[in-house]
Amino acid sequence: MSNAGPADKVLSRSELLERYGRPRANTLVFTNGCFDLMHPGHVHYLAAARALGDALVVAVNTDDSVRRLGKGVGRPLVPEGDRALVLAALSSVDAVCLFAEDTPRELLSGLLPDVLVKGGDYAPHSVVGRDEVEAAGGRVELIPFVEGYSTTELVRRIQGTQW
């Protein structure tokens, strides 16, 4: 899909499952998150995730899902469609799909990626979808955070509460 524009990489759930579901010949990597304000920590994380396989799918929380996570007043700052498009513009990302549930378990159960990636703040046993992915022969990888980058800290700085 090297000629695809960013909008072409934002897929519905059914399109995602059709294009990247099993059976597949290549190694599929999956991660998820809010990705409210993109920063270098996200870029590093996504590049490291993509290096673990042949294609990287990123599931993005919808606006309602982000609000239910309790990220803070006024979050998300960036609407879901814009967050998905920015992620899709990264060369490390092959596809983006929004999910409205509190967790991506349902999407993961349908897709069954070969590698499920989360940030270093997770313990392997707490990664949602781990059981399903491992039962299908996949694995979970944790990628350490890049120190000094946090969306929550960026929001605080913008609000002038921490400089």
Specify the higher pLDDT residue, 16 or 73.
16
Express as a percent the part of the chain with pLDDT over 70.
Answer: 88
The predicted pLDDT at position 163 comes to: 42
Percent of the chain scored above 90 by pLDDT?
A: 69
Give the Cα separation of 138 and 63 in Å (integer). Answer: 29
Which domains does the chain carry? 6-158 (3.40.50.620)
Q: Can you give the pLDDT at residue 130?
A: 96
Cis previous bond, 144, omega within 30: no
Which strands, in side-by-side order, build the sheet including 55-61? 95-99, 55-61, 28-33, 115-119, 139-143
| Distance separating the N- and C-terminal Cα atoms of the chain | 42
CA dihedral 128, 131, 133, 137 (to 10 degrees): 160
Q: Which one of 74-78, 135-139, 142-146, 159-163 scores highest in mean pLDDT?
A: 135-139
pLDDT digits (tens, 9 = 90+) for 126-152: 999 999 999 999 999 999 877 666 666
Backbone φ and ψ for 116, nearest 5 degrees, come out as -105, 120
